[in-house]
Amino acid sequence: MTDVEHQKWWGWGVEGIAFHHEDKPAFAGFVLDKVGIDLTQPGGEPPTFDEIEVPASRLGDDLGAQLRAAVGDHQVSTDDMLRVVHTYGKGMRDLVRVRAGDLPRVPDAVVYPANEDEVRAVVDAVVAADAVLIPFGGGSNISGSLTPQPHEERTVISLDLGRMNRVLEIDESSGLARIQAGGLGPDIEEQLTTRGWTMGHQPDSFKHSTLGGWIATRSSGMQSDKYGDIADITRGFRVVLPGKVVELRPLPSTSTGPSVREMIIGSEGRLGVVTEAWVNVHRVPENRDVIAYLFPNWAAGLAAMAEISTSDASPTITRVSDANETSFSLATRKASKGISGKVGEGLFEVLRRRGWDLEKVCLSYIGYEGGTAKIRAEKSIVGKIIGKHGGIRLGRGPGALYDQKKFDTPYIRDFLLDRGAIGDVSETAAPWSKLGQVYTTTVRAARAKFAELGVTGFIMCHLSHSYHSGACLYFTFAFPPNADDDFLGQYDAVKTVIQQSFIDSGATLSHHHGVGTDHAPWLEQDISEAGTDLMVGLLRAADPGRNLNPGTLI
């Protein structure tokens, strides 16, 4: 059997790793206060696999034989657990449904190709059989982009790229690397850094997402201010379509009409299978520093981030949390570590004496990379801007905390689900001039919906990923649903008002989680009716039989 490793079938990450609160003294009080959950009560357990019923595979003998001929007997699986792992991503809707054993349509087989020739053979066989093919990277998407359509009558094949995970070549003169699409973040970075290079793309899902998935969902990493989003980083690729391969050589720029590169980036498996890509890579930086700062309020933090984006400094990370997210960060700190040292020294008392309202303070992280002189100069510029907006520097210790926590926090959604509560995210981007309004409208809409549902809800936000003309706002919300209505119905109600408030206040439906099925209802409002028509035409031309991941995007 294949040796590709997968995430838990019921939740985020790998077995044996979970979120714990016992080492975070302030967390239980915070959760009780904000969402009314008493952590002194034992949480529930995730279901066991035996408790769920998996529909039988419908893989027919003919297609099965062709797939086995294409990739080898051991790389085609109809195993129930593997098919369930390949049914959902890791969105809240996915987690709730998979835990409940809600499996209307499960892929009939999972196929693990080793190279592009095998991908071509699989794609051709699937399309010739009028079956459905769904490319699978790490399964980490949170927009419902790889789940088979519930009433799909045709055979469904999940094509897992996990064996194609090698860095194939590095063009050192150009700062380009050719990398197979199934490489997970750690696979790729390990192979690059041993040769002195980095891609610099670090989404929070880094450990469990792949290059192909990043490209297919227009991903963005936490250091995008320096390295760019995946749409900037990806310079060329090979994409397998039925009977042909789209090949785009890596070019720094080109004027060859509407960009095929941009058509593929964000295509969520509907325009073919990305097998490898040329991406920008950089020399591993000499130094890396993340410094924490504190602002007296959200407006000051936003104004400072906007000013930094047009300054002579070019940090790798610009991030500021609103007051709610700041209180969450403080509540998740471990005993006597990081920022608590500062707090313990009476910093907050000093700030209070200076007239700060401690309910409104906003924590910020700014990342720096490069030579010592460059970093020093950038810190000086940033420090002045932060001071001008009333902020203060906390230092490197709290900054290191950000690096430590960034890959752990995702486990918190399963922790909340075990206690009957929903915790999820919605993110967007808008011009600087609109960000304040997007924030206010969204928070207000979510709170109004919490009140309507009669639930104790919490919403927090941070700004990250700064651009010349605007930035991303990333909202996290949590609430224990009331007993009157269905769990997912209440989740949908909150998610819907948040998404609609993005559109209504001039922001996009998503900055980096793609469209999938979850965000598809807002696509036309985002790109206009005529824009949607263009997209429909493209998808029809590329895939007239709707064999490639139908249902996602449109």
Q: Which residues are catalytic?
A: 474
Residue 552 binding ligand FAD, by CB under 6 A: yes
Task: Using CB under 6 A, pick the residue from 75, 155, 219, 442 that binds ligand FAD.
Answer: 219
H-helix segments, 239-309:
260-264, 298-309
Question: Residue with the closest Cβ to ligand FAD?
Answer: 213
Complex with ligand FAD: residue 368 or 474, whichever CB lies closer: 474
Give the interface segment with ligand FAD, choosing from 47-55, 99-107, 432-440, 507-515 (CB under 6 A).
507-515
Task: Using CB under 6 A, pick the residue from 132, 199, 274, 385 that binds ligand FAD.
Answer: 274
> How many residues belong to the site for ligand FAD (CB under 6 A)?
38
Could you tell me the smallest distance in angstroms from the CB atom of residue 444 to ligand FAD?
Answer: 26
Residue 204 binding ligand FAD, by CB under 6 A: yes
Complex with ligand FAD: residue 135 or 338, whichever CB lies closer: 135
Complex with ligand FAD: residue 393 or 512, whichever CB lies closer: 512
Distance CA 490, CA 492 (A): 5
> What is the three-class DSSP state of 545?
coil
Written as six digits, the tokens of 336 are 């006597």
Give the interface segment with ligand FAD, choosing from 129-137, 290-298, 392-400, 527-535 (CB under 6 A).
129-137
Residue 422 binding ligand FAD, by CB under 6 A: no
Could you tell me the smallest distance in angstroms from the CB atom of residue 295 to ligand FAD?
Answer: 23
Residue 389 binding ligand FAD, by CB under 6 A: no
Give the 3-state secondary structure of 163-214. Answer: CCCCEEEEECCCCEEEEECCCEHHHHHHHHHCCCEECCCCCCCHHHCEHHHH
Distance CA 115, CA 279 (A): 19
Task: Using CB under 6 A, pick the residue from 205, 442, 510, 547 that binds ligand FAD.
Answer: 205
Give the interface segment with ligand FAD, choosing from 121-129, 255-263, 450-458, 506-514 (CB under 6 A).
506-514
Complex with ligand FAD: residue 240 or 305, whichever CB lies closer: 240
Is the separation of the CB atoms in 119 and 240 below 8 Å?
yes
Could you tell me the smallest distance in angstroms from the CB atom of residue 65 to ligand FAD?
Answer: 25
Phi then psi dihedrals of residue 395, to 5 deg: 120, -170
Distance CA 27, CA 418 (A): 16
Written as six digits, the tokens of 257 are 């009409």
| Closest listed residue to residue 234, CA positions, set 222, 247, 252 | 252
> What is the separation of C-alpha 334 from the centre of its chain, rounded to a whole number of angstroms?
25
| CA atoms 382, 299, 410, 500: torsion sign | negative
Q: Which of residues 131-170 bind ligand FAD (CB under 6 A)?
A: 134-142, 145-146, 161
Distance CA 417, CA 18 (A): 12
Give the interface segment with ligand FAD, choosing from 203-211, 394-402, 442-450, 524-532 (CB under 6 A).
203-211
Distance CA 18, CA 415 (A): 8
Distance CA 527, CA 530 (A): 8
Is the separation of the CB atoms in 258 and 134 below 8 Å?
no
421 contact partners, CB below 8 Å, separation of at least 6? 35, 37, 478, 479, 480, 481
Complex with ligand FAD: residue 295 or 474, whichever CB lies closer: 474
Task: Using CB under 6 A, pick the residue from 217, 364, 441, 466 that binds ligand FAD.
Answer: 217
Residue 216 binding ligand FAD, by CB under 6 A: yes
Distance CA 416, CA 421 (A): 5
CA distances from 398 to 195, 287, 292, 394 (A): 31, 17, 6, 7
Give the interface segment with ligand FAD, choosing from 40-48, 491-499, 511-519, 534-542 (CB under 6 A).
511-519
Residue 269 binding ligand FAD, by CB under 6 A: yes
Give the interface segment with ligand FAD, choosing from 76-84, 199-207, 241-249, 342-350 (CB under 6 A).
199-207
Residue 209 binding ligand FAD, by CB under 6 A: yes
Written as six digits, the tokens of 303 are 């104004």
| Closest listed residue to residue 28, CA positions, set 419, 425, 339, 344 | 419
| Closest listed residue to residue 306, CA positions, set 427, 474, 470, 507 | 470
Distance CA 535, CA 554 (A): 8
The contact pattern for ligand FAD, residues 4-43, with x = CB under 6 A and - = no contact, is: --------x-------------------------------
Task: Using CB under 6 A, pick the residue from 301, 410, 423, 470 that binds ligand FAD.
Answer: 410
Residue 113 binding ligand FAD, by CB under 6 A: no
In this structure, which amino acid lies at residue 67? L
Is the separation of the CB atoms in 125 and 239 below 8 Å?
no
Task: Using CB under 6 A, pick the residue from 2, 87, 147, 549 that binds ligand FAD.
Answer: 549
Complex with ligand FAD: residue 338 or 514, whichever CB lies closer: 514
Residue 329 binding ligand FAD, by CB under 6 A: no
Residue 296 binding ligand FAD, by CB under 6 A: no
| Closest listed residue to residue 149, CA positions, set 111, 106, 93 | 106
Residue 356 binding ligand FAD, by CB under 6 A: no
> What is the three-class DSSP state of 247?
strand
CA distances from 369 to 289, 315, 317 (A): 6, 7, 10
The contact pattern for ligand FAD, residues 80-109, with x = CB under 6 A and - = no contact, is: ---------xx-------------------
Give the interface segment with ligand FAD, choosing from 110-118, 169-177, 206-214, 303-311 (CB under 6 A).
206-214
Interaction site with ligand FAD (CB under 6 A): 12, 89-90, 134-142, 145-146, 161, 181, 203-205, 209-210, 212-214, 216-217, 219-220, 268-269, 273-274, 410, 512-514, 549, 552
